[in-house]
Chain A
Amino acid sequence: MSRFYPLLRVFGVLLMGFALAMLAPLLLSWVWQDGAATAYDEAFLLSFGAGFILWWAVRHEKHELKVRDGFLMVVMVWTLLPAFACLPLLFHLNISFTDAYFEAVSGLTTTGATVLANLDTLPPSLNLWRGMLVWLGGMGLIVLAVAILPLLGVGGRQMFKAETPGPMKDSQLTPRMTQTAKGLWVVYAAITLACAISYHLAGMDWFDAVMHAFTTMGLGGFSSHDASFGHWDSPTIEMVAIVFMLIAGMNFATHFLAVHGRSLKPYRRDPEVGGFLLVTVGSVFGIALYLWALDTYPDFATALRFSAFNVVSIATTTGYANTDYNLWPIFAPLWMLFLCSFATSAGSTGGGMKMIRAMILYKQVYRELISAMHPNVIWPVKVGGKPVASSILSGVMAFGFLYMVSIVTLTLLMTYSGLEIVSAFSAVVASINNTGPGLNQVGPATTFEVLTDFQTWICTFAMLLGRLEIFTLLVVLTPAFWRT
């Protein structure tokens, strides 16, 4: 147990820091007198207290963290922080711990699936807190993806070691990483600011603009309105959302390089940008044509408007909606769910297996075909013109396989507990890809409230599994990890 002390010490500090974040909604709750203040008081005290005690108890254990600790740290952050984050919701609203925890995880993993109804009448501070969870979760993600996971080297993540700005030291988590992280946060914060201003100029009031800027950049999908973006019925606002969702769906390291070097070259050199935009924009037009041809909408322009918003929203794993697309011919929402599995880039705040893995997997398959025809061929899988090492390739393939097996297993579990198949499948897919709404009983027009506790926990697990890129969580669950 003592070998975990350095880890717990760091976690204690993180928890305290996280608790401090609660001060923002707490303050606003006092100012607006929206009645939730006491919930925040208690939540803050509990969180900060727990963090402080943890830190104080092991404050002398200053050893450096090893790579293996990294896994546990990541898992703890994403599983334990929500337990504290859900306290305001638990204390103020009349919901079970299962549901509150689900909501908090949904926020921090930037999924955006909600169990809450009557969002319009929620205390604004609670909505703000929900939005902040998404935003903070997104930041955490970027750092996770760009700095931490490459060190842990799972699921092919090692490939990004070379791409990150700034050198990385191999076996230990060092200050260098904070430099990288800082740079990325600055970009993230700056774009969020631009987003909020744009929303306001497009017609949202300041509160909504800020909250939705948070959830747009985090690609989360929480809204302060039950009708999500349908509330404003404004193409302008939807356009702003689309633009910023697309930006957030790209690798933030690329944004950082572009801003730093003041040029567009990094976008051209980023191997995923092309695929991401092609797939997303192509689908927008494809679905629009499909819907128009099947008379779901009377004219192409309307079809394009609704297709663009919802397709981009789901493909980037955000989860906003401006109409109940569950009513569309089944192919369209299915295609959107399919997209969200792989469209977004690594290093973005989106979910799914990431475009780069999809590209690698396809090239792997193509390589098998070439090898069949030319048994002696040497045909390396290349990304961005450079060959990918075979250890990374096995990692990616194993990831892909595990990803699909997870979906199958969790769906089977959901149906076993009696849920109708389409809801089950879409709930699992939407959760593991951190998208948000599914279909049928968990579609965009309803909430996840309808699920039983067992089913809710499965979805919570799926959200964590997806966000932690499966392997990270599974490693911690294997016995071999705990044996020294």
Chain B
Amino acid sequence: MRIVILGAGQVGASVAEALSSEANDITVVDQNRAALAELADRLDVRTVAGNAAYPAVLREAGIEDADMLVAVTQSDQTNLVACKIGRTMFHVPTRIARLRSHDLLDPVLLADENFAVDYAICPEQDITDYIGKLIEFPEALQVLEFAAGAVTLIGVRAYPGGLLVGKPIRSMRDHLPAGVDARIAAIFREHQPIEPDGDTIVEPADEVFVVADSKHIRHVLKELRRSLEPVKRVMIAGGGNIGLRVAAMLEKDYQVKLIEVDRQRAEIIAGALGDTLVLAGEATDENLLAQENIDETDMFLALTNDDEDNIMAASLAKRLGCKRVLALINRRAYADMVQGGPIDIGLSPAQVSIGALLTHVRRGDVARVHSLRRGAAEALELVAHGDKQNSKVVGRRIDELPLIKGAHIGAIVRRGHDPEVVYKDGLPSKEYIDRVIIPHHDTVIESDDHVIVFCTRKREVAQVEKLFQVGFHFL
């Protein structure tokens, strides 16, 4: 595909990086020549310096032939204008814009007649939501959702004492209550991903990725470790966009303290938030952390704009007794460095939001794509279209499907054929019920099934996509 990316900031650079490795023609536009130069050195991309909202600049970037426009500059307004230009002047088929402001996520505003944004992504909101999920499952190292939340995948570290630890995976079914089923999607052991099968034995310190019906995920977690006490006290370092959103989201249900170094910013945030206790000071100040009872805090989130500060603050918090610490880390090098260290979770903001974006880039009817932690695997959610004649998967049993090494099916979400009566708030209504099926070798794939596939290698992703494509290609 030919893709024009506007903005060489963190999001733009990450998107460029993710897509350039997949045989796409990419051009990146930015006003900052240095950033562009650095990107061009690293990746196989074309760069154009200029204002992303100017038609001349866009033309130079090759927008007339582009299949997709990804507008991820720092300015919401620039992104909107670029999309409008992209559609009206250059007829770009797919236009994606990054929009920070909640106010702009108005469907009327984004409609084709107006700013013509096909898909809007808001990285800050994505990260905020993601952190929310991590807090909901304090044991988790990663939490992903598929099929509109019907299926959840959680990555946890296995500890001795977990029911499954030291036993083969197939024995899991024996412990789970009736009606609850789950699948181990991937295991990361000693810096290597492992493709699990029924005989694999889970060892302590393995990072295990489990997929199950969202309703049952807690039961499954118990297999792997003791559940932790629910989170009550959260401390956030950094009152920037993300810190503010996270605090606003959490303050209703948790006791939140937020540390911000800039006094004026602190006052603004304190005015905007409700129950959060806003403290003016440095998150790397030992005394401040100790004073504010860091040793009784359940979760510390280092969400400043500075990687180094985040790493320092999070490490310090952990050393001073905080139960779990999370740090936002943009630079890949740092992210790799903190693996296995005191910081429990290193979160790359760009990575979190890219997942949503990448789904639009991929072929086939791909609903969702995620990268698992540490590159343990790629998780794809694909829709099986067509029928037995024109599709390679519909109507076939799992064990009949062509084997792609390293790829296996983790779960299937099937919509009921007829709507059923469901009670919401006491009032009956008719809805289609989605059922989560953990497939076994004899499960048959039906049309319109959402199939969740795990691939241990990126190369397999293209093959899997091809498999699900409808039409001309035959085996």
A positions within 8 Å CB-CB of B: 370, 374-380, 382, 386-387
Q: A374-B277, A374-B279, A374-B292 are in contact. Are A379 and B270 (CB under 8 A)?
A: yes
Q: Is B197 an interface residue (CB 8 A)?
A: no
Size of the chain B interface, CB-CB below 8 angstroms: 14
Q: Quick check: B267 and A380 within 8 Å, CB to CB?
A: yes
Q: Quick check: A376 and B271 within 8 Å, CB to CB?
A: no
A375 nearest in chain B by CB position: B291
A residues near B271, Cβ cutoff 8 Å: 380, 382, 386-387
Q: Quick check: A377 and B291 within 8 Å, CB to CB?
A: no
**Bound CA span A376–B288, Å:** 8
A-B contact pairs, 22 of them (CB 8 A): A374-B277, A374-B291, A374-B292, A376-B280, A376-B281, A376-B288, A376-B291, A377-B279, A378-B263, A378-B266, A378-B267, A378-B269, A378-B270, A378-B278, A379-B270, A379-B277, A380-B267, A380-B270, A380-B271, A382-B271, A387-B270, A387-B271
Q: Smallest CB–CB gap between A122 and chain B, Å?
A: 55
**Bound CA span A376–B282, Å:** 10
**Bound CA span A379–B270, Å:** 6
A residues near B279, Cβ cutoff 8 Å: 374, 376-378
6 additional A-B pairs beyond A370-B277, A386-B271, beta carbons within 8 Å, are A374-B279, A374-B292, A377-B280, A378-B263, A378-B266, A380-B271
A residues near B281, Cβ cutoff 8 Å: 376
Q: Quick check: B278 and A379 within 8 Å, CB to CB?
A: yes
Interface string of B243-277 (1 = CB under 8 A from A): 00000000000000000000100110111000001
Q: Smallest CB–CB gap between A376 and chain B, Å?
A: 4
**Bound CA span A311–B281, Å:** 49
Interface residues of B in 292-308 (CB under 8 A from A): 292
Interface string of B118-135 (1 = CB under 8 A from A): 000000000000000000
Q: Smallest CB–CB gap between B455 and chain A, Å?
A: 48
B residues near A377, Cβ cutoff 8 Å: 277-280
**Bound CA span A379–B267, Å:** 8
A residues near B291, Cβ cutoff 8 Å: 374-376
B residues near A370, Cβ cutoff 8 Å: 277
**Bound CA span A68–B426, Å:** 64
Q: Smallest CB–CB gap between B436 and chain A, Å?
A: 42
**Bound CA span A382–B272, Å:** 10
**Bound CA span A375–B281, Å:** 10
B259 nearest in chain A by CB position: A376
Q: Smallest CB–CB gap between B287 and chain A, Å?
A: 10
**Bound CA span A374–B255, Å:** 15
The 3 closest A-B pairs by CB, nearest first: A387-B271, A376-B279, A378-B266
Q: Smallest CB–CB gap between B281 and chain A, Å?
A: 5
Q: Smallest CB–CB gap between B261 and chain A, Å?
A: 11
A residues near B278, Cβ cutoff 8 Å: 377-379
A residues near B292, Cβ cutoff 8 Å: 374
**Bound CA span A23–B292, Å:** 70
A residues near B263, Cβ cutoff 8 Å: 378
A residues near B280, Cβ cutoff 8 Å: 376-378
B residues near A386, Cβ cutoff 8 Å: 271
B residues near A382, Cβ cutoff 8 Å: 271
Task: From A370, A375, A378, A380, name the one whose CB has the most chain B CB atoms within 10 angstroms.
Answer: A378
**Bound CA span A374–B266, Å:** 14
B265 nearest in chain A by CB position: A378
Interface string of B309-324 (1 = CB under 8 A from A): 0000000000000000
Q: Smallest CB–CB gap between B244 and chain A, Å?
A: 13
Q: Smallest CB–CB gap between B315 and chain A, Å?
A: 21
Q: Smallest CB–CB gap between B265 and chain A, Å?
A: 10
**Bound CA span A380–B263, Å:** 12
**Bound CA span A370–B288, Å:** 15
Q: Smallest CB–CB gap between B278 and chain A, Å?
A: 5
B residues near A375, Cβ cutoff 8 Å: 291
**Bound CA span A370–B275, Å:** 12
**Bound CA span A379–B281, Å:** 14
**Bound CA span A377–B270, Å:** 9
